[in-house]
Amino acid sequence: MLTFTDPPQDWDTAALAPTLKRWLEALAPGSLPLHKGVSQAGLVDDQAITAMVLNCRDDSEGAVEAKVGVFFTEVVINCGCGDEPMPVNAYCELLISIDKVSAEATIVVVTD
């Protein structure tokens, strides 16, 4: 579980989106469960991710939920391209639930 740093005083979902985007993009590599969202069984290179808040809602039970798309690099090993691993663009969606009192965030990969 991660703690949402610099939580807003007002949990207005429209105002939360840009703050959430900045927070996600500033997280240390390995903080997000992106390894569960790879499509080619590769390794995650999350040194530089791009987050896009798809929707954000107040669940009225003391938390705010957001669905976020994350673009990152997946490094595919032994892809038949010689000895070099092949970096490919990757994308997965996360469901983030942030407790309004503690600012703790629960993050899971959305699977269809």
Q: pLDDT tens digits for 12-37?
A: 777 888 989 999 999 999 999 998 98
Closest CA to 1 of 97, 110, 109, 104: 104
E-strand ranges in 1-112 read 2-3, 43-58, 63-76, 86-99, 104-109
Residue 55: per-residue pLDDT: 93
Residue 6 sits in which domain range? 2-109
Number of domains in the chain: 1
Residue 82: per-residue pLDDT: 65
pTM metric for this prediction: 0.86
Q: pLDDT tens digits for 53-91?
A: 999 998 878 899 999 999 998 888 765 666 778 888 999
Residue 79 sits in a domain of what CATH number? 3.10.450
